[in-house]
Structure 1
Amino acid sequence: MAAASFDTGLGLEGSHVLVTGSSGAIGSVVVTAFLSAGAKVSAFDIKRPRVAVDHVRLRSYQVDVTNESSVDKVMEMASASFGVISTCIAVAGLDLSFAPHHSLADMSLHDWQRIMQVNVDGTFLTCRAWLRGIREFATTNTKNISAVVFGSEAGKFGVPNCAAYAASKAAIQVGLVKSLARDAVSIDPRCRVNAVAPGPVDTSQFRNECANDPTALWREAQATVALKKPVAVEAVARACLFLASDNYAGNITGQVLPVDSGKSGSLFWLADGQDA
């Protein structure tokens, strides 16, 4: 008896994928992942790429995702180049490693607003421009109509010395995702919206932090993590591929996918009794 046929491909070939934060440690790997899957990629970042990548299916744009007119203008340019943006991967944000760390009692309103502006407003403007493009340009042949926004473990567990970052990620991965998932299907019934919530990711910045603080690795990626290790950047990129693919995640929307090596909670105290 012949084995039954089962398509295990991602089915992302030819889809136009937007990746914001494309020059960052995670965003650059996400770009590579989608190019490897056969997609056309528009890469948005406020900075120019550290290493220029020459690829026939890649276009890079310098854009500030908090600037409304700039986002709309560059989104139109990207659509003119590769056609309708079917898939939006909103990586851009002010990472916890670079956010000001203060007790809430000492945090300035400016610092709070800046984190919210980049992480929440930037994600909103990106998703809004993507959804408007779907409404205007999507056809019955458009596949993989989905958005994947970047939350964080902080949006679930909180951060004792950076409440603004945790609040911004909770807003994105819960309030925005749950609401937009219900809204988007009124624009196109195939629209899906999900979030990835990485734990500590094994970037060069995280390794530098661990080198400067002997307790950081144990505290952030071992003591409360089932796999006792940080998350590989490639694992985060593969989660984005999975959620973007109609073949694999066609019935998944309004969800948060933890990519955190099994993080189970916050550490309140170190082994020596000091605050974590």
Structure 2
Amino acid sequence: MAGQVQGKVALVTGGASGIGAACAELLAREGASVVVTDVDELRGPEVVAGIKKAGNEAVFLHQDVTSEARWIEVVAEVMKRYGRLDVLVSNAGIGIGVPSITEMSLEDWRRQTAINLDGVFLSVKHCLPAMRKTGGGSVIMMSSLAGLRGSANLSGYCATKGGVRLFAKAIAMECATFGDGIRVNSVHPGIIDTPIWGKIPTGAPGQGQNAPIDPEERAKFATPLARAGHAMDIAKGVLYLASDASSYVTGTELVIDGGMNAGGVVRPAPAG
């Protein structure tokens, strides 16, 4: 079914790479005009160029999601350019891993919280009024499987993504109370093959960073489906939440994790 978001205007933060880029590309392919924002002024325009080359509509705006002043400017530019905002994909985020929470600096804790949590708060604060003028829409907040369960070495990341999960539910209830036609949901990726895995330490406490994690190898043992997901797997879930196909879905979690959150499987030992 093509054109699932035809005529809608979508804003995707952190859209220069990984999951954000896949979301921007798929939403544009399905008919949305997409505003891609990121701090990456090299890859962001490249994503937009690819979207336009495919015959779809997109624009890149440089944005640090922790800047409230920039949020005001970005939303004003979206409304000036397109006159509406239907979909917000609050995706920008970072992951900072440490062998032990005792080794995490307050500076890193605050930086991660500023991007992963403050940035989502600011996105909602400044996009809701525009979406209400439009007459409704869909807010999609990118959380994580780490927002549903604990993960060693990623306690600070878990704190932010767990916050996003409950923030989404609270804003869903607020929008329902307002009767503004805006649905709000969170998405929870599991092991997805993106560059973030190269930044997570694998050493024991006190030993720092070992070789980067291979997401495919980890997923082979950690997920019931025995493979890592891809950015487009998440984008397809985002497309569903952005489209009218999910018109009765709000305040919930879309978990896309190869079955990890459901439990584990015992595989037979290889023959021989």
Unaligned runs of 5+ in 1: 1-7, 268-276
Contact 2:10 2:87 in 1 (8 A): yes
Q: Is the contact between residue 43 and residue 61 of structure 1 (CA under 8 Å) also seen in structure 2?
A: yes
Runs of 4+ in 1 over 3 A off after TM superposition: 8-11, 186-189, 204-218, 264-267
Return 5+ residue gaps in structure 2 as ranges. 203-209, 265-272
Amino acid at match of 1:104: I
Kept in 2, the 8 Å contact 1:149–1:172? The answer is: yes
Q: Distance in 2 between matches of 1:156 and 1:53?
A: 32
In structure 2, what is the equivalent of residue 260 of structure 1? 257
Q: How does 1:23-38 map to 2 (within 5 A)?
A: 23-38=16-31
**2: CA distance, partners of 1:155 / 1:203:** 18
- The structure-2 alpha-carbon separation of the partners of 1:148 and 1:216, relative to structure 1 and needing over 3 Å to count, comes to closer
Note if contact 2:2-2:30 (Cα within 8 Å) is conserved in structure 1.
no
Which has more helix, going by share of residues? 2
> Residues 207 and 180 from structure 1, CA distance in 2 versus in 1: closer, same or farther, beyond 3 angstroms?
same
1:230 alignment partner AA: A
Corresponding residue for residue 268 of structure 2: none
Contact 2:65/2:115, CA 8 A, preserved across alignment: yes
Q: Which residue of 1 aligns with 2:87?
A: 87
CA deviation string 1:118-167 (max 9, x = no partner):
100001101111112123x224xx6xx01111001111222211211011
Shift of 1:33: 0.2
Going from structure 1 to structure 2, the CA distance change for 1:79 and 1:187 (only over 3 Å counts) comes to farther
SS in 1 for 2:103: coil
What's the CA shift string for 1:167-211, capped at 9, x where partnerless? 1000001x2011000011244442100011001112255489899
For 1:128 and 1:231, the matched residues in 2 are separated by 31
Q: Secondary structure at 1:196's aligned position in 2?
A: strand
> What pairs up with 1:229-248 in 2 under 5 angstroms?
229-246=227-244, 248=245
Distance in 1, matches of 2:62 and 2:173, equals: 31
Which of 40, 43, 53 in structure 2 is aligned with 1:47?
A: 40
Residue aligned with 1:105, SS: helix
CA contact (8 A) 1:116 1:168 kept: yes
Provide the rounded CA distance (Å) in 1 between the counterparts of 2:24 and 2:125: 21
**Of 223, 226, 233, which aligns to 2:224?**
226
* Identical positions, percent: 27
Cα RMSD of the aligned pairs, angstroms, is 2.5
CA distance in structure 1 between the aligned counterparts of 2:180 and 2:213, rounded to whole angstroms? 50
Distance in 2, Cα, partners of 1:20 & 1:221 = 27
Which amino acid letter does the alignment assign opposite residue 134 of structure 2? A
Residue number among 154, 158, 162 corresponding to 1:166 in the alignment: 158
| TM-score, normalised relative to structure 2 | 0.83
Following superposition of structure 1 onto structure 2, how do residues 150-229 of structure 1 map, counting pairs within 5 Å? 150-173=142-165, 175-204=166-195, 206=197, 212=211, 217-218=216-217, 220-229=218-227
Distance 1:208 1:110 in 2: 17
Give the TM-score, by structure 1 length: 0.82
